[in-house]
Amino acid sequence: MNVSPLMPVEEAIASLLEMAAVQRLDDSEPVLLADARQRVLASELVATLDLPPWPNSAMDGYALNVDDWDGQPLAVSQRIYAGVAPQALLPGTCARIFTGAPVPEGANSVEMQENIELLDDGRIRFKKPLVAGQNIRPQGQENRVGQVLLQAGKRLGPFELAIAAGQGCTHVHVVRRPRVALLSTGDELAEPGTPLKPGCIYNSNRILLSHWLGALGCDVIDGGVLPDQPQQTRLKLEQLQYSTDLILTTGGVSAGDADCLGQVLRECGKPLFWKLAIKPGKPLTVGYFGSVPVIGLPGNPMSALVTFGLLARAYLLRIQGVENVTPLSFPVSVGFDWHKAGGRREYLRARLEDGRAVPYGNQSSGILLSASWADGLVEIPQGGTLKAGDSARFIPFCGLL
Ligand code: AMP
Ligand code: MG
């Protein structure tokens, strides 16, 4: 029997995704391509154009009809640049053609200019054997009219926006942005630009998460900093519950006297789970306050980063309709020994060096420098040990953004 009171990471992710299914956003809006980066497509993008729209030349060279050619030099009957509509090819001639220009009707082959000889009389001698279709990009090679190019639920990055632009779209239809209230909790927090009183630290989680939320397509409602005070915490949550899709907090979810976020959620809301079998990030707390979901991240910057990246990110993408929310990962061989089999799944900040994962020297959950130094996270299974050269799962940070 599993006596551990800690919830396994997979179970917590599954629980968040169940919650996301209920909270799925169904409003959508048209947005300019220029503003659509990181948004999620609300309906499939269907091709209205064949691409290429006509056969075109893959080379600078000469177009001819090899089926109607005796191998002799040919006169040049026209010059075809990209962006012009050519005449049909005059029989018994070739056409000068440039990359991307339409292949004229009647031509079925293009020879690259490096393989011809320009004769004194202006005719072209083809030095090598030619075949039909060579160096021609056929109409519809990339896609045909009516083809589904991008599925609903696709996150739009530069590649997808370029595909939409290739169809002449000015706008795409995307799911509305999730409205996320971001709260930092802690009496010790000061904002950059204000004096640092004794015992205080600057708030680094706020900027970390507001940028990351933006990269996941969210609108951030900055709820500011909350003192460690149950009454004020409750009032703030009450105030935010009707205008947001999610309340995301940092700090105040551990077991200490001053950790009132978790306390308020348990007393006035509906907690779903807290205490995860994850390191860093054990105090992660998830639940509802009224009808609004609350994800309470731990305050330590690395704990907040790891739990946001592995859990909150999946939730925020799924409510926007993204199907595959599992971050990119791949096996790497580790460049270190890991002897202590822990009771929690561990994530080490590590760099890939010569194909091996090398961990940052200090894995304390307060050390944010480790994230900037590292390429991603090495996952050490609960109860697992490793020897240098063993294989472990690696989750690159770039796949989490
Ligand atoms: P807590 O989860 O509230 O117990 O906080 C754990 C640790 O993280 C404490 O050392 C806090 O001072 C620190 N911490 C909490 N919130 C932030 C924040 N917004 N920025 C930087 N450090 C924080
Ligand atoms: Mg605190």
**Domain final residue pick, 81, 107, 137:** 137
Q: Can you give the pTM of this predicted structure?
A: 0.95
Whether 226 and 264 map to the same domain: the answer is: yes
Q: Return the structure tokens found at 150.
A: 């991008």
- The answer to whether residues 256 and 360 belong to one domain is no
Calculate mean pLDDT across residues 212-233. 97
Q: Could you tell me if the CB of 188 is within 6 A of ligand 1?
A: yes
- Any ligand 1 atom below 6 A from CB of 204: yes
User: How many domains are there within the chain?
Assistant: 4
Domain boundary among 319, 344, 376: 319
In a domain, 63, yes or no: yes
Nearest ligand, measured from the Cα of 188: 1
Question: Given the structure tokens 């509802």, which residue do they identify?
Answer: 288
Are 199 and 303 found together in one domain?
yes
Atom 7, ligand 1: residue with shortest CA distance: 300
User: 308, 319 in Cβ contact below 8 A?
Assistant: no
Say how many Å lie between the CA of residue 93 and the centre of ligand 1: 77
Cα-to-centroid distance, 19 and ligand 2 (Å): 26
Rounded to an integer, the average pLDDT of 163-189 is 98
Check which CATH number belongs to the domain holding 287 and give it: 3.40.980.10
Same domain, 155 and 208: no
Q: How far apart are CA 134 and CA 66, in angstroms?
A: 10
For residue 4, being part of any structural domain is answered with: no
Residues 238, 369 within the same domain: no
pLDDT classification of 5: cutoffs 50, 70, 90: confident
Q: Is residue 200, in this structure, part of any structural domain at all?
A: yes
pLDDT at 1: 39
**Mean pLDDT of the chain, nearest integer:** 97
Between CA 110 and CA 133 the distance in angstroms is: 7
Taking the centre of ligand 1 as the mean of its atom positions, its distance from the CA of residue 245, in whole angstroms, is: 24
Atom of ligand 1 nearest to the CA of 188: 12
303 found inside a domain: yes
For 380-399, the pLDDT digits (tens) are 999 999 999 999 999 999 99
Say whether both 97 and 111 belong to one domain: yes
Question: In the predicted model, is pLDDT for residue 170 greater than 60?
Answer: yes
The answer to whether residues 371 and 288 belong to one domain is no
Does 298 fall in a domain? yes
Q: Which atom of ligand 1 is nearest to the CA of 298?
A: 2
Task: Determine, yes or no, domain membership for 112.
Answer: yes
315 and 228 in one domain? yes
* Shared domain check, 191 and 232: yes
Span between the terminal Cα atoms of the chain, in Å? 37
The packing angle between helices 260-268 and 230-240, to 10°, is 60
Domain end position, chosen among 296, 319, 342: 319
Smallest-distance ligand from the CA of 368: 1
Q: Do the domain assignments include residue 1? A: no
297 lines ligand 1 (CB under 6 A): no
Q: How far is the CA of 144 from the centre of ligand 2 (A)?
A: 57
Q: How confident is the model at residue 149 (pLDDT cuts 50, 70, 90)?
A: very high
Question: Does residue 3 surpass a pLDDT of 70?
Answer: no
Residue 293 is assigned to a structural domain of this protein = yes
d(CA 176, CA 170): 18
Whether 80 contacts 86, CB under 8 Å: yes
Confidence of residue 102 (pLDDT cuts 50, 70, 90): very high
Q: Which amino acid is at 279?
A: K
Q: Does ligand 1 come within 6 angstroms of the Cβ of 298?
A: yes
Residue matched to tokens 């006169």: 75
Examine the domain organization and report whether 311 and 298 are in the same domain.
yes
For the chain, the three-class secondary structure string (H helix, E strand, C coil) is CCCCCCECHHHHHHHHHHHHHHHCCCCEEEEEHHHCCCCEECCCEECCCCECCCCEECCCEEEECHHHCCCCCEEEEEEECCCCCCCCCCCCEEEEECCCCECCCCCCEEEEHHHEEECCCCCEEECCCCCCCCCEECCCCCECCCCEEECCCCECCHHHHHHHHHCCCCEEEEECCCEEEEEEECCCEECCCCCCCCCCEECCHHHHHHHHHHHCCCEEEEEEEECCCHHHHHHHHHHHCCCCCEEEEECCCCCCCCCHHHHHHHHHCEEEEECECEECCCCCEEEEECCEEEEEECCCHHHHHHHHHHHHHHHHHHHCCCCCCCCCCEEEEECCCECCCCCCEEEEEEEEECCEEEECCCCCCCCCHHHHHCCEEEEECCCCCECCCCEEEEEEHHHHC
pLDDT of 2 > 50? The answer is no
Q: Which two tokens stand for residue 75?
A: 């006169």
Domain around 154: 32-50+146-175
**CATH number of the domain where residue 131 is located:** 2.170.190.11
Q: Using one digit for the tens of pLDDT, what is the confidence trace for 326-377?
A: 999 999 999 999 999 999 999 999 999 998 999 999 999 999 999 999 999 9
pLDDT of residue 225: 97
Domain containing residue 345: CATH number = 2.40.340.10
- Report the C-alpha gap between 298 and 312 in whole angstroms: 12
Q: What is the CATH number of the domain that holds 156?
A: 3.90.105.10
Rounded mean pLDDT, 211-219: 98
**Most informative mutation of 250, 275, 284 for ligand 1 (most atoms within 8 A of CB):** 250
Residue 219 burial (C-beta neighbours within 10 Å; 0-12, 13-18, 19+): middle
Give the pLDDT confidence of 276-290 residue by residue, as tens digits.
Answer: 999 999 999 999 999
**If pLDDT is split at 50, 70 and 90, which confidence band does 95 have?**
very high
**192 & 121 share domain:** no
Q: How far are the Cα atoms of 177, 284, 335, 366, 370 from residue 204, in angstroms, in the given order?
A: 24, 18, 31, 11, 14
Quick one: 166 and 185 in the same domain? no
**Model confidence at 324: pLDDT above 50:** yes
